[in-house]
Structure 1
Amino acid sequence: MSKTSSWLVTHRRNPSAERRVVCFPHAGGSASFFRTWAEHLGPDVELQAVQYPGRENRLAEPLMASMGELAAGAAEALSADRRRETILFGHSMGAAVAYETLRLLEAAGTSHVTRLCVSGREMAGFPGPVDSGPRGDADLLATMADLGGTRSAVLDDPDLRAMVLDIIRNDYHLIDTYRPDPEATPVSAEVVALTGDRDPRVDVAQVRAWESVTTGAFSLRVFPGDHFYLTSHVRSLLDIATTRQRDRLSAPAS
């Protein structure tokens, strides 16, 4: 774990690494989701993951009530190390948190984040009015079954199930009430959008809309798989995230 912030967990510490990839978990997820990803990185890249409050080593801390609070905490932690080039990777809810974190960092004048990889999420958020009510258990379980990603053994244990559902309920409420600022200043970092071709909640056109948030380079990659396609394509995703831009420009986009 980072010595300076409980927000960051370092998987296979490498202080001499010239670059770092910082991963943002999905709704209900935690930093441990990315633990094995470090095995696929070379010696010049360190892997870190954002640990949201209320889970794992931060279990005793209260859950965050808004996207703004979550992004502010992550941005403060990431701004402590500006010496290394930083790449942000966010999946599902994590894509939105990573984007809002990047906006805060760039607004504060930092330029060490050079690339934002957004996975499995549309850019605009859910349309229509904000529904301020939290989801019930049946709704949460149906959504989780639709998307996959949560081990059935966890849900079969009554105590674990209650804890997990409370975390997921909060995260879904955060996402359900999140609306990106349509007047937001575009970021300057490169944006790479990624998705599975069988994701039940987002289609390729919605993912491609991330192009509008940046004045920098943009590319789109589509992989075989559903919402959690990424578990089968870790090496490819990290290659895309870490390949220098000059080399990526020669690779075909999906």
Structure 2
Amino acid sequence: MPLGTESTWLRRFSTAAPPRLRLLCLPHAGGSASFFHGWGHAFGDDVEVLAVRYPGRQERIAEEPWTSLEELADALTGELEPYLDAPLAIFGHSMGATVGYEIAHRMQERYATAPQLLMVSCRKAPRLLTPDTAAFGTDAELVEAVKQLGGTDSALLDDEDLRELVLPAIRGDFTAVAGYAARPGVPLPCPVVGYVGDRDPGVPAEAVAAWAEIAPHGFDLKVLAGDHFYLLDRRDELVEDIRARLAPQR
């Protein structure tokens, strides 16, 4: 990717030298690229992190949130083309895991290349997904649903002014998640790793383990202590596990 080139969709944590590998990080519903700020240079000098900036928040706050995961995946796959001069791994948390799944297939279809690894965090396998009716409830019901999940976004909702800013993006994302419910999964063209917290209130470990059914190139499950946002408290343990998986094969 030429130096100085900036994508609206991607926050790039560039490396000093051309990277050996790139890691695409996809946030959860209501999340933003800043969720992965601490990951920017956490995987070594030869791994470039690309954190996704969804419409309707932070730098893109003036844009309407998108309400289709498939359309998000389409747009992001197009944005990735200049970055495919190096292998790409994908990490998606919650909603981001589904977007990553869709991107993996689109990379194969459009560019005849597959991710080196797809990492899905706190997301049921596609055939187990069910609509989240909070997307279609009142603002109070949506706020309560987000607070039950926890994470940094729930704290923002306690501030009335901030709530007004962030709620449209959260509702847009929840609508997109609800519209993607339950479909047979298509086998992936790459290995898959599933991550989940052992106290996630809505995603049991066995639902993440079901990704193995569509991972003919290999599947591994990693259960960490914590809830739906285990990756905040267990950040160092998670980063170390990902770093080991992205290390050069000997």
TM-score, with length taken from structure 2: 0.89
Q: Match for 1:37: what amino acid?
A: W
Distance 2:100 2:10 in 1: 13
Q: Deviations for 1:234-254, whole angstroms, at most 9, x for unmatched residues?
A: 233233334358999xxxxxx
- 1:21 match: secondary structure: strand
Distance 2:4 2:118 in 1: 21
Aligned residue in 2 for 1:251: none
Aligned residue in 2 for 1:137: 139
Aligned residue in 2 for 1:232: 233
* Structure 2 unmatched runs, 5+: none
Distance 2:104 2:117 in 1: 9
* Structure 1 position 170, deviation (Å): 1.0
* Structure 1 unmatched runs, 5+: 249-254
Aligned residue in 2 for 1:197: 198
Q: Does 1:111 align with 2:113?
A: yes
* Structure 1 position 139, deviation (Å): 1.6
Distance 1:28 1:37 in 2: 19
Percent of residue pairs bearing the same amino acid type: 38
Q: Give the conservation status (yes or no) of the 8 Å contact 2:146–2:154.
A: no
Q: Which moved more, 1:172-181 or 1:79-88?
A: 172-181
Q: 1:25 to 1:14 in 2, by over 3 A?
A: farther
Q: 1:197 to 1:131 in 2, by over 3 A?
A: closer
Of Structure 1 and Structure 2, which has the larger fraction of its residues in helix?
A: 2
1:8-87 mapped onto 2 (5 Å cutoff): 8-87=10-89
Distance 1:242 1:179 in 2: 32
- 1:87 match: secondary structure: strand
Q: Which moved more, 1:44-53 or 1:136-145?
A: 136-145
Aligned residue in 2 for 1:126: 129
Q: Deviations for 1:131-177, whole angstroms, at most 9, x for unmatched residues?
A: 69623212212212211013565223322111211111111111011
Distance 1:49 1:69 in 2: 18
* Structure 1 position 13, deviation (Å): 4.4
Q: Deviations for 1:85-109, whole angstroms, at most 9, x for unmatched residues?
A: 1110000111111111111111224
Q: Match for 1:7: what amino acid?
A: W
Aligned residue in 2 for 1:223: 224
Distance 2:188 2:139 in 1: 37
Q: 1:20 to 1:245 in 2, by over 3 A?
A: closer
Q: Which moved more, 1:73-82 or 1:215-224?
A: 73-82
- 1:64 match: secondary structure: coil
Aligned residue in 1 for 2:91: 89
Q: 1:40 to 1:56 in 2, by over 3 A?
A: same
Distance 2:166 2:121 in 1: 22
Q: Give the conservation status (yes or no) of the 8 Å contact 2:15–2:45.
A: no
- 1:138 match: secondary structure: helix
Distance 2:60 2:14 in 1: 20
Q: Give the conservation status (yes or no) of the 8 Å contact 1:37–1:234.
A: no
The one of 164, 170, 173 aligned to 1:171: 173
Q: Give the conservation status (yes or no) of the 8 Å contact 1:140–1:169.
A: yes
- 2:129 match: secondary structure: coil
- 1:63 match: secondary structure: coil
Distance 1:2 1:174 in 2: 32
Q: Match for 2:116: what amino acid?
A: T
- 1:40 match: secondary structure: coil
Q: Match for 2:5: what amino acid?
A: K
